[in-house]
Amino acid sequence: MDVALARSWIAAIAAAVAEQADYLTQLDSAIGDADHGVNLNRGFTAVLAALDGPPPATVGEVLVKTGSTLISKVGGAAGPLYGTAFRAIGKALPPDSTVDVASLGQALRAGLAAVQKLGAAVPGDKTIVDAYGPAVAAFEKANDEGLGAAARAAAEAAAEGMRATTALQARKGRASYLGPRSVGHQDPGATSTWLIFQALADITT
């Protein structure tokens, strides 16, 4: 991945979030604050504006700036969680204009660790982690096959994890207040996590 591809990834995420903002908000209205799509759309619109200038020198700088902007511009849980993830990914990358697939996989795992540290979520809690964890594992398993194959594997695993949240009872976040009533609803955070990995697959295959 080079700087241009990193910027293309963020642009693809922004486009997907804009397209699916209403859907994300509908999911969130069932078990949350009904603002997930609106907040993420506002955040990634701000990210595009922040990146609309002289290109950063490294891939890591693109992702750190993405994360910092999300933290400052997005309310609710999504801003801190996704912002922390992108900052951790960027900081874990070598300070180069191009990074290899293995390095990106390691950085994605650092992002997952940062999300879990901040949100104290584990697999099965009906959160971002239920899509992000399988995505990273699939990416790492396929990284010898190249970025496109690794990204496709990650997106497919994220989709499976996303769908699996429907049957789970939420144990973290606003949805956890609903107890058993949270069962039967797909988690909005896991859904937006899938969009992020799908965007990477879309631009690399």
pLDDT of residue 127: 93
**Tens-digit pLDDT profile for residues 14-45:** 999 999 999 999 998 887 778 889 999 999 99
Residue at 11: amino acid letter: A
User: Domain 3-204: which topology?
Assistant: 1.25.40
The label of the residue with tokens 């293309």 reads: 8
pLDDT of residue 173: 76
Phi, psi of 58 (to 5 degrees): -130, 160
pLDDT of residue 172: 82
In the chain, domain spans: 3-204
Among 143, 144, 106, 99, which Cα is nearest to 2's? 99
pLDDT of residue 155: 98
Spans in the chain with pLDDT lower than 50: none
User: 3-class SS at 65?
Assistant: helix
Confidence (pTM): 0.94
